Amino acid sequence: MSYLILVRHGQSIWNLEKRFTGWVDVDLTENGKSEAKKAGELIKKEEIEIDHYYSSFQLRSKNTLKLIKEILQDSKVFNESWELNERHYGALTGLNKDEMKVKLGEEKVHQFRRSWDLRPDPLDKKNPYHPINIDTYKEIPINQIPDTESLKDTYERVFNFYKKEIKNKISKNNILISAHGNSIRALCKYLFKLDENQISKLEIPTGNPLLINLDEDKKIINCKYLDKERAKDLVVF
């Protein structure tokens, strides 16, 4: 038996400003830091020894994990993987979601945010928000850096990472992943065997650990959000 804990980073600066963030490397708000610390306290109460920690390359994910580890008083080095990054929102990056609803209509914006295989227009490579212009990603081969992504694209890179790095460890190790709404959504699609419609409806709250209990065959025994007041509906598995 083992545990997999999935934590979406605490509220970021652009979450607060309702902007499409994607690969732009913004940090946590003060509220986001508080959410991360509370996540750490909730995990600590479970008395689970974490064997491996993972985060994306992005500040909001890494700093959430650092705050959680401080609460757990665990000095283990954590692994950073760009494959756990948030979905790239292409030409929508940096734009205000409410303003785009007025301009494009709520239905179109919802499609861009939740549809399975719809990609926004590519982000111009000269745009300062493009990942090739952000120092955080200078170690990623340029041919692997996207201009835009669908949820399907995000799923494929997250799943490939999970299959390569985590799948063989999970039956005998407790693992904590600090990532993003869409990268966690992608993991949940695989773990809960969701179809394309189910995954589009899955909401992932910030800073609320999802505790998943697995048996030796990597089958889910049960799962729950640790902060019950901020929990979202879970799929039936």
Catalytic residues: 9, 86
Please give the Cα distance from 231 to 156 (Å, whole number): 26
Strand partners, 220: 214
Alpha carbon distance 73, 198 (integer Å): 37
Nearest to 42 by CA among 202, 214, 207: 207
Separation in Å, CA 185 to CA 34, 125, 224: 23, 27, 15
In the block, tokens 């979450």 appear at 15
The candidate with the shortest Cα–Cα distance to 81, out of 195, 160, 185, 148, is 160
SS3 content of the chain, % helix, strand, coil (to 5): 45, 15, 45
Q: Give CA–CA dist 62/77, Å, rounded.
A: 12
Tokens found for residue 232: 């979202």
- 3-class SS at 158? helix
Q: How far apart are CA 201 and CA 199, in angstroms?
A: 5
- Supply the Cα-derived Rg of the chain in whole angstroms: 17
